[in-house]
Structure 1
Amino acid sequence: MTHSTVTDGGRSARDFAHDFPFDPSYGLGLDELLRVPAPEAAPTDFDAFWRSRHEAARAVDPKPEVGRLVEVRDGVRVHEVSYASVGGVRLGGWLVLPAEGEAEHGFVIGHGYGGRDQVGPDVPLPMPRSAAILPCVRGMADRGLLPGVPSLAAEHVLHGIAARDTYVIGECVADLWCAASALLELVPGLDGPQPRLGYLGESFGGGLGALALPWDERFAAGRLTVPTFGNHPLRLTLECVGSGAAVRRYHAEHPEVVDVLGYFDAATAAARLSKPVLVAAALFDPSVPPPGQFAVYNALAGERELKVLEAGHFEYEGTRTERAGLDAATADFFARMLT
Structure 2
Amino acid sequence: MARPDAPPRTAPFPFDPTYGHDLAALRAVPGPAHEPDDFDAFWRDLYRRARDVRVDARIEERLPDGWQEAALEGHQAGAAAVEAYRVSYTSLGGVRLGGWLTVPATGEPCRGAVIAHGYGGRAAPDPRLPMDGVASLQPCLRGLPALSASPAVTSPHVLHGIASRETYVHGGCAADVWCAVTALHDLVPALRGLRTDFQGSSFGGGIGALALPWDERFATGQLTVPSFGDHPLRVGLECRGSGAQVRERWLADPSVLEVLGYFDAATAARRLRIPVHVAAALLDPAVPPPGQFAVFNCLAGTKELHVMPFGHWPDHPDHQAVQDWLHTAMRAFFARP
| One-letter amino acid of the counterpart of residue 283, structure 2 | F
Counterpart of 1:130 (choices 128, 134, 138) is 134
> 1:5 maps to what in 2?
none
The Cα shift of 1:130 comes to 0.9
| One-letter amino acid of the counterpart of residue 286, structure 2 | S
- Distance in 2, Cα, partners of 1:95 & 1:16: 41
> 1:90 maps to what in 2?
96
Counterpart of 1:16 (choices 5, 10, 30) is 10
**Higher mean displacement: 314-323 or 282-291:** 314-323
TM normalised by structure 2 equals: 0.93
The Cα shift of 1:12 comes to 4.1
| One-letter amino acid of the counterpart of residue 279, structure 2 | A
The Cα shift of 1:14 comes to 2.0
CA contact (8 A) 1:158 1:247 kept: yes
Q: Give CA-to-partner distance per residue, 1:68-106, whole Å, 9 cap, x none.
A: 111444411000000010111110011101112211111
The Cα shift of 1:56 comes to 0.5
> 1:293 maps to what in 2?
292
In the alignment, structure 1 segments of 5+ residues that lack a partner are 1-7
CA contact (8 A) 1:280 1:306 kept: yes
| One-letter amino acid of the counterpart of residue 87, structure 2 | V
CA contact (8 A) 1:71 1:79 kept: no
TM normalised by structure 1 equals: 0.92
- Distance in 2, Cα, partners of 1:301 & 1:324: 28
> 1:54 maps to what in 2?
47
- Distance in 1, Cα, partners of 2:146 & 2:18: 32
The Cα shift of 1:317 comes to 2.3
Q: Give CA-to-partner distance per residue, 1:167-214, whole Å, 9 cap, x none.
A: 01100110111011100111111111xx51111100000000000000
Total equivalences in the alignment = 321
Q: Does 1:39 align with 2:38?
A: no
The Cα shift of 1:238 comes to 0.3
The Cα shift of 1:28 comes to 0.8
- Distance in 2, Cα, partners of 1:16 & 1:142: 35
SS at match of 2:103: strand
Q: Give CA-to-partner distance per residue, 1:217-267, whole Å, 9 cap, x none.
A: 000001100000000000011000100000011111111111000000000
Q: How does 1:1-339 map to 2 (within 5 A)?
A: 11-18=5-12, 20-72=13-65, 73=68, 74-119=80-125, 122-150=126-154, 152=155, 155-192=156-193, 196-315=195-314, 316-336=316-336, 339=337
Q: Give CA-to-partner distance per residue, 1:259-305, whole Å, 9 cap, x none.
A: 00000000000010001000000001000000000000000000000
SS at match of 2:245: helix
In the alignment, structure 2 segments of 5+ residues that lack a partner are 69-79
> 2:75 maps to what in 1?
none
- Distance in 1, Cα, partners of 2:256 & 2:141: 23
SS at match of 1:246: helix
